[in-house]
Structure 1
Amino acid sequence: MNSLKKKATSGVIWSSIDKSFTMLIQFVFGIILARLLVPKDYGLIGMITIFITISQAIVESGFSRALIQKKDADQLDYSTTFFFNFLISILVYLILYFTSSLIADFYVQPLLADLVKVVGLNVIISSIAIIQRTILIKKIDFKTQAIVNIIAGIGGALIGIGFAVSGFGVWSLVFQYLSRNFITSVLFWIMNDWRPTLVFSLASLKRLFNFGSKILASTLLYAAFQNIYLVIIGKVYKSEELGYYTRATLFKQIPATLVTTIIQNVTFPILVSVIEDDTQVKKIMRRSIKLTAFLIFPMAVSLIVFAHPLVLILLTEKWLPTVILLQILAVGVIFFPVNSINTNFINAKGRSDLFLKLEIINNVLTIMAIAFTYRFGMTIIAIGYVSVSCIGFFTYAYYSGKFIAYSGVKQIIDMFPYALVSIIVTILSSFIWKLVDNQTLYLLGGIITSILGYILCSYILKFKELEDIKNIITTKIKK
């Protein structure tokens, strides 16, 4: 158990480094690109996001989760999956290539045909690194992943900015995306010693697909219905308005993705290893939920309170319509990482069928929300999106309550102290700094004061998560 704890601690440290630096890179360079480009450029990319996301899900086919879940996965399993993923990626790319004109016609945007053909190359590029990444996750080796992602993030961002400065417009975003993923794939092969062998087993493929197919179906449903908002907005509204929505989404995804990926990547392999021990599973779940709440609430509340100066200062006035959308979507940030912990638990038990069932339920709710809101403008659409996230939390938490007596209500009770402290500290900080008639000072002073106030209150109230993070950092420094 000590070895498991050591791996989990190391995983949290390096996963945190990975996501923190990756998000910082995306945030800083994303601001530079947003200032160089116009909302329409982001809107065009938003229109094709659903097709690329679905294509990548098909290529991966749920095998990554299946291989992690299978404790005795061997070279035959890895090689079979590698060749299957690569062949599927070529087939998927050909489909994208020959349907690109139909996508362009749907949105009445001729440029999209060429964009799809080029961006679609990523499904092939990414396929060659799926197994490399999966093996590292299974080993809980997040150090290698952190190094790769940071290097690739910086390289891709610099290439994108170079094209933007040269006047390539929307193509700057395309080349940034492709170059980052190309560098990632190359580095994974360099830094991981696994290589495929010329073997292929239909029996292995069938066994893995039995679990992975349900993950695939769930992933496809999630990708389709989460991105259906981009399709509807792109079709019904102007590309500029889709640009505002995608920029708000990117901002709110920073805390959501940061916390979710750290917790999800670490907890899934750990839960798999102890899944037969309900007491231990519940303990891990509670610690994960509390740590998630401790991290996510101050981030989400700060986004809501300081959205206006954040957008105005970083992106300039041309992006101000993003503010209200960001404030609404930030509410949903709270549920995203918590939902991931509950789905990790379900998948760790090998119940991908339940995962699929829950995805279907939540996607039906998504369709209903879109049907009721798409006619009433961007603000109402965003409210509908967040409402589905709130309801989705209770559907995912239902099975945690059923299997280990850790229901959604109990999870909310565990999260409540962090929410309350975050709201009080951030609002007080905002009131204090509003007395300063300077947007930059208001933003910087407000956020810094909020962080310090939150840490101080956490110390006074003896939040164990503060001590946990301190111990992790101290242990890493000593090493």
Structure 2
Amino acid sequence: MKNKSTINGVKWNAINSIASQASTVITGVVLMRLLSPDAFGLIGMITVFTGFLKMLKDSGLGVSLIYKKDLTKYDKDTVFWFNFVFGLLLSIIFFFSSGFLADYYDEPELNNLIKVFSLTFVFSSLSGVHGPLLKKHLQYKKIFMANITSIVVSSILTIIAAFSNFGVWSLVILHLSASIIYTINLYFVSDYRPSFNFSKDILKSHFDYSLPVLGTKSFNYLTRNADNFFIGSLLGSQALGYYSRAFFFVNMPIQKISNIIGSILFPSLSLKKDKKQSKNLLLNAMNMTAFITFPLIGGLIVLSEPFVVGIFGEQWKPMVLTLQILSILTLFESVFVFTTSIFYAHGATKLYFRLSVIYGLYNIVAFYIGSLYSIEAVAGLLLIGYILFMFPKLYYAGKLIDLRILEIFKILKSHFIINFIVMFLVYVASIFLLHKISMIILLIIGIATYLILFTIISLLMNKKDLLIFIDNLKKVIIEKG
């Protein structure tokens, strides 16, 4: 029965993830057609701070609720009231910081935007216990219903506002309405109702567990979002709008694919201490992922202009080069991300943390230096940093499972060669057709051409691995079905 609940939970969690991301992408495309890059940049300036403050608000207490075995009503109520009071405090602080932040960014419009945005802390704090409790009991279907409803309704409200010329306020409506609706939905689907109970000792016991989690999350957040902060500060809202949208559209779908494949191929990696098994799993994950992500990213690189202009409009054309640079980074990241599981599975978490600290510190410096020049410079330095970090990461992960870096690139060699050939051919064809047909038609022709050429050349140069990939894909679909 427990196994059935786990499988059902995994299924609904996957459905929730895919549906919410799909809805977010669709809404994002519509809004990018209606709103200016400046609007997205202004919201990006705000979410740099709200994202960090929301993480502080949770303080890892949600994770503590999930993993504590003997959970009492006092545990739930204590965490609930702490979240609420702390969320209210953050809302007040952020509200009265609006003038300072508006002056710092030299964006007067931020003043009122931040004041309204600060309300999200109050509403999100009211669901800080309900969500984790549903996850604890694997009730992901309820989470899905609450989440997808909030996304759909808030998206509709936002699109209506954008059509009605609300401008940047449309995006404020998106965030605020999603937070309110999600909180209300969780109250309907959850059995938990708060009472006036509070215990300092219980709160301390949860903090003992959650603070190390908070420390790691805080460091990761700062290193991953320093680019938005520096770009907003030094290059302005329009530049941040271009950069943030480019990063979102190149990173989100590829990351999702890698996560799904990782969850399929690494379900029991932590139980398999055998180096050969771990090595085969890692290489299999990389090989399978490359079959999906390399053509997707390769196509995006050579068709970035028709993709951006055809889908989002001419006003977004300045983000093309940034999108291409970030796509190259994501190409590497999509297959090498799995090495992280090797560090965790073989108990080398301290080594991985040290590597991550060095990489994170490099990123902060690189983001600042790049922001002195352009968003393309930021993306370029981010790519250089990832490549520099990639080799020691592969080396140390390889040492744990007796895997040499050359073995990894041997597995991926055919993928690089095939996609480089296809990219070259599609690029030449797109140059010939550019300005002769509309961008959206060029994009459709380009995608079809890439897929046809990729399939033909793969059958000629890498037929064995392609057939193995198709066979594995069929097994995954059958198992998931």
- Provide the TM-score with structure 1 as the length reference: 0.82
Q: 1:307 aligns with which of 275, 299, 304?
A: 304
Match of 2:102 in 1: 104
Quick one: structure 1 residues 452 and 44, their matched pair in 2 at CA, closer, same or farther if it must change by over 3 Å? same
Cα distance in 2 for residues equivalent to 1:170 and 1:112: 10
CA RMSD of aligned residues (A): 3.8
Q: 1:460 aligns with which of 463, 472, 477?
A: 463
Q: In structure 1, list runs of 5 or more residues that go unmatched.
A: none
Cα distance in 1 for residues equivalent to 2:85 and 2:138: 28
Query: Matches of residues 53-452 of structure 1 in structure 2 within 5 Å?
Result: 53-66=51-64, 70=67, 72=69, 74-75=71-72, 80-135=78-133, 137=135, 142-193=140-191, 202=200, 205-259=203-257, 262=260, 270=267, 275-279=270-274, 288-336=285-333, 341-343=338-340, 357-394=354-391, 400-401=397-398, 403-405=400-402, 415-432=412-429, 436=433, 437-438=436-437, 439-451=439-451
Moved more, 407-416 or 87-96: 407-416
Quick one: structure 1 residues 298 and 59, their matched pair in 2 at CA, closer, same or farther if it must change by over 3 Å? farther
Contact 1:373 1:380 in 2 (8 A): yes
The letter for the 2-side match of 1:119 is: F
Moved more, 360-369 or 15-24: 15-24
Contact 1:338 1:393 in 2 (8 A): no
> C-alpha deviations, 1:152-193, integer Å up to 9, x for none?
322221111111111111000111122223333333343344
> C-alpha deviations, 1:114-165, integer Å up to 9, x for none?
2122223223333343444445555666544444433332222111111111
Quick one: structure 1 residues 21 and 365, their matched pair in 2 at CA, closer, same or farther if it must change by over 3 Å? same
Cα distance in 2 for residues equivalent to 1:409 and 1:192: 52
Moved more, 368-377 or 45-54: 368-377
> C-alpha deviations, 1:232-291, integer Å up to 9, x for none?
2222224222222222122223324423554677899x56xx735424776765555555
Moved more, 167-176 or 138-147: 138-147
> C-alpha deviations, 1:396-443, integer Å up to 9, x for none?
556644655567766555555545444444544454565554232221
Contact 2:235 2:372 in 1 (8 A): no
Contact 2:101 2:111 in 1 (8 A): yes
The letter for the 1-side match of 2:302 is: V
Moved more, 94-103 or 258-267: 258-267
Q: In structure 2, list runs of 5 or more residues that go unmatched.
A: none
Cα distance in 1 for residues equivalent to 2:190 and 2:283: 33
Task: Indicate the SS of the match to 1:321.
Answer: helix
The letter for the 2-side match of 1:120 is: S
Quick one: structure 1 residues 371 and 247, their matched pair in 2 at CA, closer, same or farther if it must change by over 3 Å? closer
Contact 2:31 2:159 in 1 (8 A): yes
Quick one: structure 1 residues 108 and 188, their matched pair in 2 at CA, closer, same or farther if it must change by over 3 Å? same
* Structure 1 position 469 matched with structure 2 position 473: yes
Cα distance in 2 for residues equivalent to 1:87 and 1:80: 11
| Alpha-carbon distance, 1:93 to partner | 1.9
Quick one: structure 1 residues 214 and 152, their matched pair in 2 at CA, closer, same or farther if it must change by over 3 Å? same
Task: Indicate the SS of the match to 1:298.
Answer: helix
- Provide the TM-score with structure 2 as the length reference: 0.82
Counting aligned pairs with the same residue, the percent is: 28
Cα distance in 2 for residues equivalent to 1:348 and 1:88: 36
Task: Indicate the SS of the match to 2:69.
Answer: coil
Quick one: structure 1 residues 140 and 306, their matched pair in 2 at CA, closer, same or farther if it must change by over 3 Å? farther
Cα distance in 1 for residues equivalent to 2:278 and 2:183: 34
Task: Indicate the SS of the match to 2:372.
Answer: helix
The letter for the 2-side match of 1:74 is: L
Quick one: structure 1 residues 388 and 182, their matched pair in 2 at CA, closer, same or farther if it must change by over 3 Å? farther
Moved more, 197-206 or 355-364: 197-206
Contact 2:287 2:411 in 1 (8 A): yes
The letter for the 2-side match of 1:117 is: K
Moved more, 103-112 or 88-97: 88-97
| Alpha-carbon distance, 1:451 to partner | 4.0
Cα distance in 2 for residues equivalent to 1:207 and 1:347: 25
| Alpha-carbon distance, 1:368 to partner | 2.7
Quick one: structure 1 residues 201 and 372, their matched pair in 2 at CA, closer, same or farther if it must change by over 3 Å? same
> C-alpha deviations, 1:331-369, integer Å up to 9, x for none?
222355567645566667898766654443222101331
| Alpha-carbon distance, 1:203 to partner | 5.2
Task: Indicate the SS of the match to 1:167.
Answer: coil
Quick one: structure 1 residues 386 and 401, their matched pair in 2 at CA, closer, same or farther if it must change by over 3 Å? same
The letter for the 2-side match of 1:158 is: I
Cα distance in 1 for residues equivalent to 2:453 and 2:187: 44
Moved more, 138-147 or 113-122: 138-147
Contact 2:359 2:389 in 1 (8 A): yes
Count matched residues.
Answer: 470
The letter for the 2-side match of 1:155 is: V
Moved more, 255-264 or 47-56: 255-264
Cα distance in 1 for residues equivalent to 2:368 and 2:399: 32
- Which structure would you say has the larger Rg? 2
